[in-house]
Amino acid sequence: MVKDLSVGLCGLTLKNPVIPASGTFGFGLELADEMDLNVLGGISLKGTTREARYGNPTPRIAECPGGMINSVGLQNPGIDVLVNEKVPSLRKVYDGCIIANISGFSLDEYRECCARADACGGIDLIEVNISCPNVHNGGMAFGTSAESAAEVTRTVKAVCQKPVFIKLSPNVTDIVSIARACEDAGADGLTLVNTFLGMRIDIHRRKPVIANKMGGFSGRAVFPVALRMVYQVAHACRIPVMGCGGVASAADVIEMMMAGATAVQVGAENLRNPLACPEIIEELPVLMDELNINTLQEIIGTV
């Protein structure tokens, strides 16, 4: 029997739930010569800010058992380049769901960038990264309090017609309360989770490995914690969830969907194996046959 891998996400139909996560797949075009991009359910583009950013000083990558730490610092060419160059070029070769990942250091920056992304014809969905420090509030990340997360959500929803997903930070005490605050503020969906805060020390130099001292920990090691958070939020909220964090196989995708995710993002695994996503998509029907699953839609939130 032919397996149905398609899923519905806020009125959009994705051919399958597998999406390269923001920051691990560039703007899509970088890998267009290495794979058929059109096998992907969606692509979450590199995080974008109002102005071009050169990122943090190097070194900004550290390997860890079961993952990696990065402190790239949102290096990107800015919103103008995204909407005028990157998305139109990608749309010429890719017919799936294009997700703009927007970051900001103030409500004004979120508002302006999301409005620009919403007006860009090639973008289907807007994903808002609220793990950035609020420069007007002492540097505390927008996503670490329910009130700030809701404020960003209301701000961007006021200027967006396209579906808005808020990408949540796991570096909080109660992710469910923040998720509910975003839902109440009008979010169409939620992506979780972003990276965990981590650190490595070079014991020979007696200094942190990363120039910025700490960074975002991601990779296979975080999967059980990310899965737990997806399960909690998906069962507490009515809006769809994109699961992310340590996903590295077709089995991980199935687990995330059973926990309640409608779509699943693959992050650090793309950096280890740039062909991870197409390989996972190819494995899915085989695993579905083993598990007697005919359509992926039917397993969402079954646990």
What's the CA gap between 300 and 303, in Å, rounded? 8
Question: Which pair of structure tokens corresponds to residue 131?
Answer: 């793990």
Residue located via tokens 């029997």: 1
Closest among 222, 233, 139 to 187, alpha carbons compared: 233
- pLDDT value at residue 59: 95
Q: Is 160 a catalytic residue?
A: no
Nearest to 21 by CA among 287, 296, 271: 271
Full DSSP string of 205-251:
TTEESSTTSEEEEESGGGHHHHHHHHHHHHHH-SS-EEEESS--SHH
User: Kindly report the CA angle at 187 between 225 and 239, in degrees rounded to 5?
Assistant: 60
Domains identified in the chain and CATH numbers: 7-104+120-129+163-172+187-299 (3.20.20.70)
pLDDT per 10-residue tile (average), the chain, 303 residues:
94 98 96 96 97 94 94 95 98 98 96 98 97 69 94 98 97 96 98 95 97 94 98 98 98 98 98 97 98 97 97
Residue 250, both tokens: 């077709």
Of 268, 234, 262, 235, the residue nearest 249 (C-alpha): 268
Q: Which of 114, 132, 182, 244 is catalytic?
A: 132
Alpha-carbon 187 to chain mean position:
15
Residue 32 C-beta-side C-alpha neighbours within 13 Å: 13
pLDDT at 134: 67
Give the per-residue pLDDT at 60: 94
What's the pLDDT score for residue 132? Answer: 75
